[in-house]
Amino acid sequence: MSLQDSGVDRGLSFPSNALSEVPFRVYTDPEQYRIEQERIFKGPTWSYLCLVAEIPEPGDWVATTVGEVAVIVARGPDGAINAFVNRCAHRGNLLCLTEKGHNKEITCIYHGWTYDLAGKLTGVAFERGIKRQGGMPPEFRKDDHHLQRLRVAELSGLVFGTFSDEVEDLETYLGPLVVGGVRRVLNRPAKIIGRSTQILPNNWKLYAENVKDTYHASILHAFLTTFRINRLSQPGSINIDDSGGNHFSQAKMDYAAEDAEYKAAQLRSDTDLKLADNSIIDPIDEYGDQVSVQILTVFPNMVLQQIRNTIAVRVLRPRGVDRSELEWVHLGFADDDEAMTERRLRHGNLVGPAGYIALEDGCVGGFVQRALQYNDDDSGIVMMGGHDAESQTFRASEAAIRGFWKKYRALTGA
């Protein structure tokens, strides 16, 4: 469906049917943002909801969002994971006011309506009135007023949800390449070892592009190249699913040679800079495949990272046309010993809101948004590595960004 077919004509259109030019207005237009909420986040996509590890026991629940829609994810008494909107069927009040909790039921603080952990309405305060006066009319049926449910699927301890009855199953949606990338990193039960949240002063799509952009890493992130953590000259690849929306990029290193070189040179870099303590970058090849960096994205809102031995899920949440929220959930594994947990936490200083190689990402999207303020004519260029959105065996490319726009345009009609 085109924007014209929907009755909306704001003049927002891509310069051509190609994927290598992106109109700047797509980051600033309020009507386009509204369309995204309906056609992407409430449309035929699978959004990350939470980790299985966050709701291990029956009665556990977490509150999150899909786009801007408030959602509850709960483990029912039968052990099943359920997801439903966080909005009372009575007067629309927010049901769960905290980020997580545990209970046998969910009760609205406004008028006392209660729901079970599958979102079914189980109780209405004063349903029969007081002393046979008032109350709900005879035709009222609780079964007609359950909370709107989402379809739920789980992969390697990650829980996803969708409002769509039409979208394919999760693994088909991701494609075999990306499913393999997820299973490579999350190859055993995970545990949460830390989390943080930052507010980004920019449209959500600018960060979504950033994590698909291997081109900027060796330029913006001086720490990466200075201390030889990730360079475009390293062996690597960009792997994109058929829809374009999901991908992972990889970079490899010779762990043994890296370790010997650093020790011999006393943690040297290509400059005269040195690290007084190399524990923030000292790696172990825990997967046995020499992949030192893997960044994986699931359209529209999730990143799974492995940078050396720091593993994290990043959750991207739109919070207005020029604002977004980025949550970092740092992970270890249930079989990690104390030394490995410490290693992961130290490597975690590389990334996160104030990380040596992520601080810049939190700023640069805001710089772009500021530059577009009342100056959003013309288009950005994403031609590095060609014009298509196909997998590549090199990383000096913007192919994965083009993949994002391929999926985006298919969903929004832009």
Same domain, yes or no, for 398 and 353? yes
Q: Are residue 209 and residue 118 in the same domain, yes or no?
A: no
Structure confidence at residue 362 as a pLDDT band (50, 70, 90): confident
Rounded CA separation 398/12 (Å): 23
Identify whether 172 is part of a domain. Answer: no
For residue 184, the model assigns a pLDDT of 98
Percent over 90 (pLDDT), the chain = 72
Indicate the pLDDT class of residue 271, thresholds 50, 70 and 90: low
Q: Domain check: are 149 and 205 in the same one?
A: no
pLDDT recorded at residue 333: 97
Distance CA 324, CA 318 (A): 4
When divided into structural domains, the chain yields a total of: 2
Write out pLDDT tens, residues 278-315.
788 888 999 999 999 999 999 999 999 999 899 999 99
pLDDT tens digit sequence for 155-208:
999 999 999 999 999 999 999 999 999 999 999 999 999 999 999 999 999 999
Note whether residue 76 is domain-resident: yes
How far, in Å, CA of 72 to CA of 83, rounded? 6
Residues 285 and 382 in one domain: yes
Based on the domain organization, do 214 and 251 belong to the same domain? yes
Q: Domain holding 224: CATH number?
A: 3.90.380.10
CB 400 within 8 Å of CB 386:
no
136 domain-assigned: yes
- Whether 396 has a pLDDT exceeding 90, the answer reads no
- Residue 162 maps to a domain: no
Q: Which two tokens stand for residue 235?
A: 């062996």
Tell whether 129 and 207 lie within a shared domain.
no
Indicate if 280 and 386 belong to the same structural domain.
Answer: yes
Domain of residue 228, residue span: 177-412
Q: Would you state the pLDDT for residue 270?
A: 56
Structure confidence at residue 200 (pLDDT):
96
Of the candidates 206, 233, 239, the one whose C-alpha atom is nearest the C-alpha of residue 217 is 233
**How high is the pLDDT of residue 8?**
43
Q: Which of 276, 344, 339 is closest to 308 using CA atoms?
A: 344
Tell me, yes or no, whether 242 lies in a domain.
Answer: yes
User: Domain of 108: which CATH number?
Assistant: 2.102.10.10
Task: Tell me the whole-structure pTM to 2 decimals.
Answer: 0.91
SS3 for the chain, per residue?
Answer: CCCCCCCCCCCCCCCCCCCCEEEHHHHCCHHHHHHHHHHHHCCCCCEEEEEHHHCCCCCEEEEEEECCEEEEEEECCCCCEEEEECCCCCCCCCCCCCCEEECCCEECCCCCCEECCCCCEEECCCCCCECCECCCCCCCCHHHCCCCEEEEEEECCEEEEECCCCCCCHHHHHCHHHHHHHHHHCCCCEEEEEEEEEEECCCHHHHHHHCCCCCCHHHHCHHHHHCCCCCCCCCEEEEECCCCCCEEEEEECCHHHHHHHHHHCCCECCCCCECCCHHHCCCCCCCCCCEEEEEEEECCCEEEEEECCEEEEEEEEECCCCCEEEEEEEEEECCCCHHHHHHHHHHHHHCCCCCCCCHHHHHHHHHHHHHHCCCCCCEEECCCCCCCCCCECCCCCCHHHHHHHHHHHHHHCC
Q: Are residues 290 and 392 in the same domain?
A: yes
272, pLDDT greater than 80: no
Cα angle 258, 287, 338 (rounded to 5 degrees) comes to 85
Q: Let me know whether 148 and 192 are in one domain.
A: no
Are 191 and 142 in a shared domain? no
Mean pLDDT of the chain: 90
Q: Residue 7 — pLDDT band, cuts 50, 70, 90? A: very low
Regarding whether 220 and 80 lie in a shared domain, the answer is: no
pLDDT band at 276 (very low <50, low <70, confident <90, very high): confident
199 and 306 both lie in a single domain:
yes
Q: What is the pLDDT of residue 268?
A: 43
Inside any domain, residue 330: yes
